[in-house]
Structure formats: C-alpha cells, structure tokens
Amino acid sequence: NAGVTQTPKFQVLKTGQSMTLQCAQDMNHNSMYWYRQDPGMGLRLIYYSASEGTTDKGEVPNGYNVSRLNKREFSLRLESAAPSQTSVYFCASSQQGGRTFGSGTRLTVV
Amino acid sequence: GQQLNQSPQSMFIQEGEDVSMNCTSSSIFNTWLWYKQEPGEGPVLLIALYKAGELTSNGRLTAQFGITRKDSFLNISASIPSDVGIYFCAGELQGDSWGKLQFGAGTQVVVTP
C-alpha cells in the first residue's frame, strides 16, 4: 500500500546511546518531516525537508540530526539519547497541504 | 511554542450523540486541517479547509474555517463507536512562505454504547 513507512516501531535505548529512525515514502512527495508527540502537547516539528537536498530546523531540533538521503527517504538520528527524548516519533510527507503520516516509532530512553 | 488552543481536552459521549470541538488562535491562518489519530497509528487527514468561511463535510464530519481566520470547528454527527480516537486541528500560519503546520493538543473522544 502507498504511504509512509517508519522503522522500527518500538525501541528502548540507554542514556547516551545513538540510533537512527528510518522513514520512506512512495508517493513521490517533495516534502518530508519529523515530528515528536508527547502527551497533551500535540505534534511538534523537529526537522523538515522541503525538497531533496535541503533540510531545516523545526520547533524542537536540539539533540537531533536528519538526512534526506534521496526523494523517498528521510532519517532522524539521535547521537546521544537522553530521557527527555522519550516520545513517539512520526515521519510525514506532503506534496502540498495536509501531511501523510507514518504509524510512528515509540522510543523509550532509560 | 504552541499557538493553537483546542477544546475540549476530552469528551465522553453516548453513541448517537453529536460531537463538537474547536480550535482558536491569536494568529491568522491560511489553512486549517483536521486529523484523527487511533491508538498505535499516525494521524489521518479528515478535512482540509482553505478559505475563510468555508464549510466542508466528509460523511458525518463537518468542519468550518472561521471568518476571522483565527478559528475552526469540527462536528461529528450521530457518533458511532469507531469515532473513538484523538482529533487534532492544525493550522498553517499566514505569511509562512513554506507552510509549517501548528498542531493543537488534541481532543480525546470516547463513545459509549
């Protein structure tokens, strides 16, 4: 099925460990995004990529890096995980207007 | 920080009842979007609004883009058990050339038989 695919679905990290969250879309969308979702706070934008080859900071970029590998793929990296990064992470893509979201990665940092 | 105020935070309703929720902001928006999120899934777009005053329906869902461009509401008529979930509003700020969305904190809807 067409859409946004995120891996992994669940991850537990120890403080200080690193990991990369993967995201791929097969809708030929130009723009891709990474959000985090915390209870009672809606979705907050971490980084976005308006088009292949460009990335920009969103609302809460500290502690994260991203790579727009090609038009399909946009990865999010935590270099040194902290408990404050415990959250559900969503990748999304769009051509214009509304975003299409993946099903999320639930990350726990202990 | 978050600029959208979404209310109510949660609603417990009986099957068959109508549901109404809204989002307000001090900022002017170009676009209002309404999403639904079910447990373990990402948000799914329900309705998109692009013009002030626009009223759009999607089945039992109706949403309106406020005349002032600072608010929007979503109504669900004759609720059914599968309407359970968290509903989010999202707005694209006027003057934002790229179109970053601001999200409300969500309204949790619980439907009892």
Distances in whole angstroms, Cα of residue B53 to Cα of each of A36, A46, A91, A92: 31, 32, 31, 28
Question: For the ranges A64-78, B67-81, B86-100, which has the lowest average pLDDT?
Answer: B86-100
pLDDT at A96: 73
Quote the percentage of chain B above a pLDDT of 70: 92
| pLDDT higher than threshold 70 for residue B59 | yes
Handedness of CA A60, B87, B106, A8 (dihedral sign): negative
CB A94 within 8 A of CB A100: yes
Say which of B44, B100, B104 has its CB closest to residue A42. B104
Place B100 in a pLDDT band, splitting at 50, 70 and 90: confident
| pLDDT higher than threshold 80 for residue A1 | no
Task: Look up residue A83 and give its two tokens.
Answer: 């408990």
Q: What is the mean pLDDT of residues B2-30?
A: 92
Place B92 in a pLDDT band, splitting at 50, 70 and 90: confident
Average pLDDT, chain B: 91
Judged by CB atoms closer than 8 Å, whether chains meet at B43 and A101 is answered as yes
A73-101 per-position pLDDT tens digit: 999 999 999 999 999 999 999 987 678 99
Selected for mutation to probe chain A from B101, B102, B108 (highest A CB count within 10 Å) is B101
Say which of A50, A97, A104 has its CB closest to residue B98. A50
Residue in chain B closest to A100 (alpha carbons) equals B44
Q: A104 to chain B, minimum CA–CA distance in Å? A: 6
CB A51 within 8 A of CB A70: no
pLDDT at A16: 97
Place B96 in a pLDDT band, splitting at 50, 70 and 90: low
Residue where the block lists tokens 């601001």: B102
pLDDT at B2: 52
Instruction: List residues in chain B touching A: CB distance below 8 A.
Output: 1-2, 4, 6, 9, 31, 33, 35, 40-45, 48, 50, 88, 90, 98-101, 103-106
Instruction: List residues in chain A touching B: CB distance below 8 A.
Output: 4, 40-45, 48, 50, 58-59, 90, 92, 96-104
pLDDT at B99: 57
A51-63 per-position pLDDT tens digit: 899 999 998 999 9
| pLDDT higher than threshold 60 for residue A32 | yes
Q: What is the mean pLDDT of residues B56-69?
A: 96
| pLDDT higher than threshold 70 for residue A28 | yes
* Strands A105-109 and A87-94, sheet pairing: antiparallel
Residue in chain A closest to B87 (alpha carbons) equals A42
CB A45 within 8 A of CB A60: yes
Place B93 in a pLDDT band, splitting at 50, 70 and 90: confident
pLDDT at A41: 79
Average pLDDT, chain A: 93
pLDDT at B77: 97
Q: What is the mean pLDDT of residues A6-31?
A: 96
Residues of B in contact with A50 (CB under 8 A): 98
